[in-house]
Chains A and B, each alone.
Chain A
Amino acid sequence: GAGVSQSPSNKVTEKGKDVELRCDPISGHTALYWYRQRLGQGLEFLIYFQGNSAPDKSGLPSDRFSAERTGESVSTLTIQRTQQEDSAVYLCASSLNTGAGELFFGEGSRLTVL
């Protein structure tokens, strides 16, 4: 596609339910990143993929959060047993390589946990 695509754009769920957020990066981009943005705050790094492997998972806030990437393309961020503090916009970005290149962002998935 023309840009990074994320789905769903909006998700409302009940506390305790699991959610999956999907990211389709720009074709050919080897690096993929997940960030979280809580209301009024900056972007919080969650996890980074180089190809299908995740050399840096340091930002995942708890073991309820996991992510995978397959085919050096689509990535899924899964949040188990959601809590109200998980409410945020989850942004995905991809880049051509792992140098100091430009990150291309998706429009984000807004998660609301009731």
Chain B
Amino acid sequence: AQRVTQPEKLLSVFKGAPVELKCNYSYSGSPELFWYVQYSRQRLQLLLRHISRESIKGFTADLNKGETSFHLKKPFAQEEDSAMYYCALAASGGYNKLIFGAGTRLAVHP
């Protein structure tokens, strides 16, 4: 069965500190992984996807198949990064049924 685990409900850091939001997945096939973000009073939106290998708003995420992880990282957190972050997994080669983790709330303090 496909499963996404985000072990931290809340991650609290100070501005300028490094951030790592953890995501582990369980899937027997070749996964496609995503990070979605929900800022206060905004809709859930795509932040980045592993196939693009891009950096968005300073965030990066590397797929580690050996550790079945897709952790989200940023070297220097900003207050505007405070939001709810969801890791999501889709089975490759099919329709885009996304399985979401429970989410991690990132709070960046001044």
* Cβ of B49 under 8 Å from chain A: yes
Nearest-CB distance from A31 to chain B (Å)? 7
Residues of B within 8 A of A100 (CB): 32, 49, 51, 90, 92, 96
Contact A105 B96 (CB under 8 A): no
How long is the Cα–Cα vector from A93 to B96 in the complex, in angstroms? 11
* Cβ of B97 under 8 Å from chain A: yes
Residue of A nearest to B2 (CB): A45
- Assuming the contacts A42-B86, A105-B43, A107-B43, asked whether A98 and B102 have C-beta atoms less than 8 A apart, the reply is no
* Cβ of A90 under 8 Å from chain B: no
- Assuming the contacts A43-B100, A100-B51, A100-B90, asked whether A55 and B44 have C-beta atoms less than 8 A apart, the reply is no
How long is the Cα–Cα vector from A101 to B97 in the complex, in angstroms? 10
Residues of B within 8 A of A107 (CB): 43
Number of interface residues of B (CB under 8 A): 24
| 10 A-B contact pairs sorted by A residue (CB < 8 Å) | A31-B95, A33-B97, A42-B103, A55-B95, A56-B97, A100-B92, A102-B46, A102-B49, A103-B46, A104-B45
Give the 3 A-B residue pairs with the shortest CB-CB distance, closest first.
Answer: A43-B100, A42-B102, A98-B95
Known: A35-B100, A48-B97, A100-B92. 20 other contacts (CB 8 A): A3-B43, A4-B43, A33-B97, A33-B98, A41-B102, A42-B4, A43-B86, A44-B100, A45-B97, A56-B95, A91-B44, A98-B95, A100-B51, A100-B96, A102-B46, A103-B36, A103-B98, A104-B45, A105-B44, A106-B43
